[in-house]
Structure 1
Amino acid sequence: MSFLHRNLTQIWDQLRSKKNQSQDFLEEIRIEKLRGIRDLRVPFSFPVSVIAGPNGSGKSTVLFACACAYRPPNKAWGIVPSKLFPNLQTQGSTSPSDKSAGTVFEYYYLSHGIKTRMRWAKGKTWNKSFLGKREGVQPERHTYIRTLSNLTNPSEVRSILQMGKSTFTQEELTADLIAFAHRILPVRYRGLTLLKRRDNKDLLFAVRDNDEESYSEFHMSAGERAILRISKDISQLSDGLVLIDEVEAGLHPMTQQQMMLELQRLALRNNLQIIVTTHSSVVIESVPHDARIFLDRTDNNVIIQTPYRDIIQKALYGRSLNKLSILCEDDVAEGVIMGVLDVLNPRIGIAPDDITVGRDTGKDQFGQHIEALAKFQTLDSFVFILDGDARNLENSLRSVGTRHGHAISLLFLPSDQSPEVWLWSILTAKCDNYASLLGTTAEDLQKNVQLIDQIYSGASDKPTNINKNKLGTLAEGLNRTVPQIARIIAAGESQSHKGEMKVFVDELSDAIIAWRNRY
């Protein structure tokens, strides 16, 4: 584990503890009838949330709707939906116009430790209500929203360039702001100055270490400008909601990861809730699984997908790098597959690093994964391997691929039962074959297997669970893990060249060779 990743996992634990003590938190937003969203609920369970998904899946829509949740402290109005979701109205009944009647935003908050709700509804105008409370009040909270991908447009440039001809104030920015930027950017600043006009337009000037000349943000890289702007705006913000669209814009992957670490540190230190959108796998991986929100568009709605496992996520967000990805159900299945690959890879000339095995996804989720991968045209780089007891899903899963114009590579582990049942049957029959490989004698292994069978003889659970417990008991006695035992047995059976294992080895070999021929 890298030093940066250790820092991330440590901050995740601290943020979870902080969340349990929060008095103000946007817990969920519901959107109806807007931009192809029929009815979408988005929950937020972690102080720093990342919203991901394909183009057009509604990421920015959700983010901008969140911006209308609060009003600033001691002010009557905050950001209203009409500002972020304006409609174009044209003259004439036949001219095209935007129509969004019936749009609804519902918010579910924790406000001052009390659960409350609010609704924005669009009729002729936008109106607030409080879901049954006559004297409800919109919760107060500082809200910051920024779109990093929006570079300064020409009219804004011309306007700001006039600052030299008008009256402005000069403000030296604080050490906290500079420190925030230093922890993210590879450059070091001796000073940062902000020029401000009466109309609230401003311009940053920077002086780097070992450089006497200052330079404005017009001469900064997109990434440098984005970091300094965020630093200026939120490094001293407390108890607020921070919304950043396309947080990775203009940033190197390492800078993206460092920025996400600093944003989470800032959330912890300043009691912030931060929600960002992204297309970057680096940003996604910078928050825990419960902070990742994956949106996807269906024919008539936008939905939240089950958080993709790492192998799916990397394929969708550009980290697969021409590797073959194998997706299976759990760590026992992974152990079986790795054992087969230990034998198969040298035989067909495949380097171990060419293949990635991913797991921890239920068999019922495979259809969703196939749908998602089809949209990104990455199905040809995947082999799907289900447990032997999931053969009843074959036709439905293949039909998902066919619907998207793909004949998916779908295999099943040996036997028509779970890998746990299969492994235990092999151990029971072949103690002599595997005793030395497991670090014991054939006599001791046979005694242990028989004793464990006796212990579980009266168990009334499913065969899969019973055999899983049997393997766990044996593994503990051998000072090994169940996946390690699975790998040893699968490697041994792969060399037998007969039975169900031979069929599986041949099918997997054909799938790997077909992938290699494509690439």
Structure 2
Amino acid sequence: MVKILKLVKMSTLNLKIENLRGINTFEINVPIKKGIHIICGSNGIGKSTVMTTLSKIVYRNALNKYFKHSNNTAVISYAYENTTNTWKPNHKSSWSLTEKDESQISFDGIFESSFIYGNRFTDAHKSKIGKILSTKKEEFIDADQFVYEWLGFILKDNKKYYSNLKKTKSDFDLKKLDLSRPMYALITEDRIIHQCTMSSGEYLIISLLDYLKERLDTLKNDKQHEPAIVILDEADLALHPASQERLIEFFEEIYDKYNLCVYISTHSPVIISRINKEDIFLLDKDEKNNIEVTYNCYPGYAMRDVSLGYYFDRIILVEDVLAKAYIEKILRDKLSHLNALFQVICIGGYSGVINFHREAMRIRLGGAGCKIMSILDGDVETEVKQKFKDDIQAINLCFLPIDSLEKFLYINIIETKNRELFQKIESSFFRQKSLKTVINAHIQNTQNTSEKELKKGKKLWEELKSEALKQGATESRFIDFLCDLALKEVSNENLEKRLLSFLEKNT
């Protein structure tokens, strides 16, 4: 009998592929850690093949189902901790382990494949629609709150929008309609709008949420052990850019509650732009069909390959995720009335921002009518004006009114000991272990660190963020709160005017 090896220590999974479909060679190391991770790359690069082979760790029969009758030279290898599984096609047109010890690397988790194979779409066939439309009101019950609230949030930014959503009863005979999953409907006094006649976005998200809800309820919610793994191929399919962004917000909200490691393949610049660089894996294929992986890939860099032909009115380039959050906070609070489709993208250090800005102008990133602006941290203003004098004249460039959010925190918490700001942060996020205890530990741990390095504030920021997450905060909420504090402490009037002019300008 095949044993299933359950692993409990967090680490990295190594996946290797040889001679499978259009892939000659491929190797990737992916972290098994709580959070959202992105597999991206241009069309035809092999993302779906990679995601499907990755699914073997949560779906035992994946290789036999999706890669039956593969080339007999194909090899797929998984390595985790001290265990290696190497799979090859056998004479029965299925796959076999080559190791004598047949312990299989396995995790709790969910796999939802792409359009062709996905469980989201198995009931979306015209031959079934007539039967589905014959269902009556009395055959439905209220949909789960999880489904209708997140459906409303993702599609309409309103959790109550689909509060009248219903689904077929638990004892409903799905077989008589040739259905594999419960069917949903919007029911009013005088009409029924069945799921199969809703928009493609509604159909997709309802099916995805129903599938996730069923599977998430069965997962072990044990945060002391490894996270369950959610693997979604083309999760953004048929969604408006705003809905794509809220889809990621949804995963940001649930991955901590359910202890999830989420892997998503996507072409969406909107989704990519929300992800930290260490969680982006950019695939590229050479002329011999060997796929290489770029690790620690900034969103802007990844978007060069996937966003051509994707249109924005305005693009704003910044150095890092904290600057991105700061600018987005200003845009939401002060400039939300403007009817402009804009995107804030973090690129990397100031040299990377300026170089990317030049390249983005050359290739017309975002479309011919898109305007681009760069906003750098305040602490590099003097250096940039000396080093990039000519570029400042050529590109739309300005600076934050603070050195950086990390330095803002360091100055106010460590140097000036801003008591009011200290108390606001502590009362909101540090109720189990006090902020004072965290700060004292930081000072103790950094005794041998140079003062110049400490004043950058990055070490303090990482320790504060880490402890806030341990105490139940989400990273997005913690960052948003700190941006609020910074915006109230400093004057952003000049930056707001500059942003307003940039967003309203037609030429």
What TM-score do the two structures reach when normalised by structure 2?
0.52
Aligned residues of 2:41 and 2:283 also touching (Cα < 8 A)? yes
Match of 1:29 among 1, 11, 15: 15
Aligned to 1:216: 194
Aligned to 2:53: 65
Question: Deviations along 1:428-453, whole A, 9 cap, x unmatched?
Answer: xxxxxxxxxxxxxxxxxxxxxxxxxx
Cα shift at 1:50: 1.1
Aligned residues of 2:75 and 2:88 also touching (Cα < 8 A)? yes
Aligned to 2:126: 157
**1:84 aligned to 2:70?**
no
Aligned to 1:312: 301
Aligned residues of 1:257 and 1:283 also touching (Cα < 8 A)? yes
**1:302 aligned to 2:291?**
yes
Structure 1 residue identity aligned to 2:29: P
Cα shift at 1:308: 4.3
Match of 1:193 among 149, 167, 172: 167
Cα shift at 1:214: 2.7
C-alpha distance in structure 2 between counterparts of 1:287 and 1:357, whole Å: 10
Q: 1:178 to 1:320 in 2, by over 3 A?
A: closer
Moved more, 224-233 or 304-313: 304-313
Aligned residues of 1:207 and 1:214 also touching (Cα < 8 A)? yes
Cα shift at 1:298: 0.6
Aligned to 1:117: 84
C-alpha distance in structure 2 between counterparts of 1:234 and 1:172, whole Å: 18
Aligned residues of 1:160 and 1:202 also touching (Cα < 8 A)? no
C-alpha distance in structure 1 between counterparts of 2:191 and 2:286, whole Å: 54
Question: Deviations along 1:345-401, whole A, 9 cap, x unmatched?
Answer: xxxxxxxx9xx99653999xx9xx99xx8xxx985449xxxxxxxxxxxxxxxxxxx
Q: 1:324 to 1:421 in 2, by over 3 A?
A: closer
Q: 1:361 to 1:310 in 2, by over 3 A?
A: farther
C-alpha distance in structure 2 between counterparts of 1:421 and 1:159, whole Å: 63
Cα shift at 1:148: 5.1
Cα shift at 1:57: 0.7
Structure 2 residue ranges without an equivalent (≥5): 1-6, 221-227, 321-341, 366-381, 390-449, 458-506
Question: Deviations along 1:258-297, whole A, 9 cap, x unmatched?
Answer: 1111123222211222211111011112221111111111
Query: What is the percent sequence identity of the aligned residues?
Result: 17
Aligned to 2:29: 43
Cα shift at 1:163: 5.2
Cα shift at 1:142: 4.0
Structure 1 residue identity aligned to 2:75: V
Cα shift at 1:250: 1.3
Aligned to 1:108: 79
Cα shift at 1:253: 1.2
Cα shift at 1:231: 1.0
Question: Deviations along 1:164-218, whole A, 9 cap, x unmatched?
Answer: 789998665322332332332323222321355136524523236x765331112
What TM-score do the two structures reach when normalised by structure 1?
0.51
How many residue pairs get matched?
Answer: 322
Secondary structure of the 1:242 match is: strand
Aligned to 1:173: 143
Aligned to 1:225: 203
C-alpha distance in structure 2 between counterparts of 1:287 and 1:324, whole Å: 17
Q: 1:122 to 1:361 in 2, by over 3 A?
A: farther
Q: How does 1:205-354 map to 2 (within 5 A)?
A: 205-207=184-186, 213-236=191-214, 237=216, 238-239=219-220, 240-300=228-288, 301-316=290-305, 317-318=307-308, 321=312
Cα shift at 1:234: 0.7
Q: 1:258 to 1:421 in 2, by over 3 A?
A: closer
Structure 1 residue identity aligned to 2:103: G
C-alpha distance in structure 2 between counterparts of 1:164 and 1:143, whole Å: 30
C-alpha distance in structure 1 between counterparts of 2:313 and 2:139, whole Å: 54
C-alpha distance in structure 2 between counterparts of 1:284 and 1:243, whole Å: 16
C-alpha distance in structure 1 between counterparts of 2:126 and 2:9, whole Å: 41
Secondary structure of the 1:250 match is: coil
Aligned residues of 1:203 and 1:216 also touching (Cα < 8 A)? no
Secondary structure of the 1:120 match is: strand
C-alpha distance in structure 2 between counterparts of 1:174 and 1:25, whole Å: 35
Aligned to 2:94: 126
Aligned to 2:379: none
Secondary structure of the 1:128 match is: strand
Q: 1:159 to 1:24 in 2, by over 3 A?
A: farther
